[in-house]
Structures are given as structure tokens and as C-alpha cells.
């Protein structure tokens, strides 16, 4: 083993950079207090990262299984450090 003089030794410091992931999510509710359900889901997402955008809320007719209440839908943009798995 060869020993190098301390003045020629290089020390490399590697800093891991955390990169935020962006997730665009579609939310919908057609049971109970639909608006409260959407707000509760959005509040839950805030615990996982930063909600950077929320679309308007739209009422939509059910498709295929039409014998059910109409939906309230919206989209949410979430910035998170959670992995995309």
C-alpha cells in the first residue's frame, strides 16, 4: 500500500440532491357530502407534499353504471419527494 502525502490527497464530498416529483391526480366523489370528500382528500394530499394547483370542480354524470349519484370531480397537482412507485 502506497501512502500519498496529505497535500496530494483529494477529498470528494458527494451531496445527494432530493428531487421533487410532480403528480397530477384526478379526484372524484359521488357519495355523501361530495364537496367535503374532495376537500378531505386534498387536505390528505397536503400531508404528502405541496398541492401546487387545484382545478375547478365539475359535476359529471356517471358513465356505464348510470343508476348512481352524479360525481363532483377535480384535478390536483402535487409536488412531493415520495418516489413514483
Domains of the chain: 21-80 (3.30.70.560)
On whether the CB atoms of residues 24 and 76 are closer than 8 A, the answer is yes
- Across the range 8-22, mean pLDDT stands at 68
Query: What pLDDT, in 10s, does the model give residues 71-83?
Result: 999 999 999 999 8
44, three cell numbers: 390528505
74, three cell numbers: 377535480
SS3 40: helix
Query: What pLDDT, in 10s, does the model give residues 21-35?
Result: 999 999 999 999 999
Whole-number pLDDT of residue 19: 81
Whole-number pLDDT of residue 27: 98
Amino acid at each position: 500500500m502506497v501512502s500519498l502525502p496529505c497535500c496530494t490527497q483529494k477529498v470528494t464530498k458527494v451531496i445527494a440532491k432530493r428531487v421533487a416529483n410532480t403528480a397530477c391526480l384526478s379526484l372524484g366523489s359521488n357519495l355523501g357530502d361530495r364537496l367535503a370528500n374532495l376537500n378531505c382528500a386534498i387536505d390528505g394530499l397536503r400531508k404528502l407534499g405541496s398541492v401546487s394547483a387545484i382545478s375547478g370542480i365539475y359535476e359529471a354524470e356517471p358513465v356505464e353504471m348510470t343508476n348512481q349519484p352524479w360525481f363532483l370531480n377535480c384535478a390536483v397537482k402535487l409536488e412531493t419527494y415520495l418516489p413514483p412507485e
